[in-house]
Amino acid sequence: MKLVVVYDTGSLAPTRIAEAAAEIDCEVVFAVADSDHGRAMRPTLELVGAVVPADAVTDLKAHRPDGIVTFSEHQLAPTVALAEALDLPYHAAADIDAITRKDRQRARFAQAGLEAIRFRTLTSVDQVDEAVAHVGVPAIIKPVLGAGSRNTTVVHTLEECRQWAAEALATEESVLLEEVLVGRPTDGPWADYIAVDCVATGEQVRPVFVTSKFALAEPFRERGGYGGRSVVPPEEVREVEDLACRAVRALGIRRGMADVEIKLTAAGPRVIEVNGRLGAWVDDLAIRSSTSDPAAVAVRSAVGVDFDLAPRYDGPIAFHYVVIPPLWATEVRSLRGVARLRRTPNVERIAVLTAPGASVDWRMGTRSHAASVLGRVDDHDQLAETIAAIEEVDWIDYR
């Protein structure tokens, strides 16, 4: 049995993919994107599987693969085209726009009776006045394509919208203006939104793992998440899981994984967006919390092998917390206390993601994170104390 993994930025670790595949005697064939990351990773990929350029269809056919998957947001559309060329089941070409474009998602959700959020797609500042008249303010402006909170902010006036649309459209082909989903009041460090990773097998869509979130940094910068037990009550989690599965079905996803973000509002859960692949940190959080095995589910579903979906909630709470620069920061001045950060109770590992002299820009979203802090705790009170302790460590200076 062989699985084609279209590999690029954002993918699971190659060793983790190979480990999940080896459990079912499945060989991995990495179809590597022609990107800086793909080229840099080729030597590592060759240690755990066959490596073929992603555009070498004839060579990939020679491997006679049984399935195909990607864990990279950038490679969703190319993977659809490659799946068609290899005659393998994956997202349908007719659905890929709705899976990757946030405006097409909104239209699909409305057609399915799932959501009716006001929105407009902007490709020019000339369209702003009509868009604001339709959507109203306050509103969110964000890229139509992409992930990682890039160029995402809230606008409160027509003039603000003109300003931010002009700035965003300087680097984006199009942006989405949509009404703000107002979250219910939520005490920190917890967030008023949550994510559910689901797996689709034909018409059946089932939840795999729930990632509870930490409160956003302004304006919409993600601070990470935790699992498997949530501060959100179990009956509400089940409601969120049901909505997430319906959102996945509405987009036509019939094979593989999808990550669904849900806003928790006073009127109930509302869909924020769907990503047509396994969510960031999900596999790591699930494994470290002994809850489930998303990588195994992704691999097995891709090649049509049965998988276990019986999550456990009697293990520790695993967290992945992101340290984010202040909104005003433009450059990292110094790192002078990383060891103190490592000594924070309940922290198992940190990854410093920046260096002195590095530029900082909140508009870049996840690409301007300062550090990732990983660990495990026994309960939510201990988690809240740990997050507060992390934020109190004086280890980095900005200008």
* Cα–Cα distance measured from residue 13 to residue 289, given in angstroms and rounded to the nearest whole number: 18
Asked whether the predicted pLDDT for residue 147 surpasses 80, the reply is no
Q: What is residue 148's predicted lDDT score, i.e. its pLDDT?
A: 66
Which token pair is 389? 């302790």
In the block, tokens 């699930």 appear at 286
* Cα–Cα distance measured from residue 267 to residue 246, given in angstroms and rounded to the nearest whole number: 18
Peptide bond into 138 cis (omega under 30): yes
Task: Identify the band that residue 111 occupies on the pLDDT scale cut at 50, 70 and 90.
Answer: very high
Is the CB of residue 180 less than 8 Å from the CB of residue 140?
yes
* Cα–Cα distance measured from residue 148 to residue 280, given in angstroms and rounded to the nearest whole number: 10
User: What's the pLDDT tens digit per position in 332-389?
Assistant: 999 998 999 999 999 999 999 999 999 999 888 778 899 999 999 999 999 999 999 9
pTM of the entire predicted model: 0.95
Residue type, 219: P
Is the CB of residue 49 less than 8 Å from the CB of residue 71?
no
Estimate to the nearest angstrom the gap between the alpha carbon of 16 and the chain centroid.
Answer: 18
User: What's the pLDDT tens digit per position in 180-231?
Assistant: 999 999 999 999 999 999 999 999 999 999 999 999 998 888 999 999 899 9
Running DSSP on this structure, what letter comes out for residue 217? B
* Cα–Cα distance measured from residue 359 to residue 198, given in angstroms and rounded to the nearest whole number: 36
Is the CB of residue 374 less than 8 Å from the CB of residue 320?
yes
Q: What is residue 337's predicted lDDT score, i.e. its pLDDT?
A: 87
Which token pair is 271? 């869909």
Estimate to the nearest angstrom the gap between the alpha carbon of 109 and the chain centroid.
Answer: 19
The length of the chain in residues reads: 399
Q: Angle at CA 96, nearest 5°, toward 92 and 99?
A: 120
* Cα–Cα distance measured from residue 375 to residue 101, given in angstroms and rounded to the nearest whole number: 34
